[in-house]
Structure 1
């Protein structure tokens, strides 16, 4: 029988002072609340910047926003299976004529971030002759 090993995970908040300075880490005595079901949220009476109740609400809002984003991107990925959302010529230039013209692909091309997954990218050749 081997002795049990415990790994302690530090609760740390990192503050970035700018690109040219190293980050400052503040070690916490316990992790921040992750949502409003944490008992510290209900017990918070001394409201201040970064208090437990505000951290709980912020974490919960962030988790909900990420969930909504993931749901939207998942639906786009599923609907755009086998669509030529982006098409490129053999020399790497964008081939707008070969790209799918459906509204889903037009929306996906307008997104400021890569939706990844099943979005289909094609390569076309400018010197293709049938």
Structure 2
């Protein structure tokens, strides 16, 4: 009988330079993902990348991602149906057709937000009223 379990290797990849080949460091066990890991309490020799620092870093990263996702979800819910970004049929930005509410103005300043957009029928700004 064969086993259907797949062993997942714990690997940390280092990239010193984008032009170089990445260096993989195989770990004997996965890094701790939270401060509840028993290795954190057992850590007595604090150093760079020790178990307790990795656990705190992982928790901070998870919390920051959670806060970001909560913020983006609230923005998407509140601005649903708004013309956050508007473009002409030729693909040019149509600032007159964009929503002018505070939420849309804030979102237009965020480079990572993907919100609603509309394509207007105007082909140039000369057609604007």
Fold-level similarity (TM above 0.5): yes
* Cα deviation, residue 77, structure 1: 0.4
* Cα deviation, residue 125, structure 1: 1.9
Any stretches of 5+ residues in structure 1 without a counterpart? Answer: none
1 CA distance for matches of 2:101 and 2:8?
48
Any stretches of 5+ residues in structure 2 without a counterpart? Answer: none
Q: SS state of the match for residue 34, structure 2? A: coil
Matched, 1:36 2:35: yes
2:9 is matched with which residue?
10
Matched, 1:125 2:121: yes
Matched, 1:19 2:15: no
* Total equivalences in the alignment: 124
Q: TM-score, normalised by structure 1?
A: 0.91
- Runs of 4+ off more than 6 Å: none
2 CA distance for matches of 1:18 and 1:91?
40
2 CA distance for matches of 1:19 and 1:3?
41
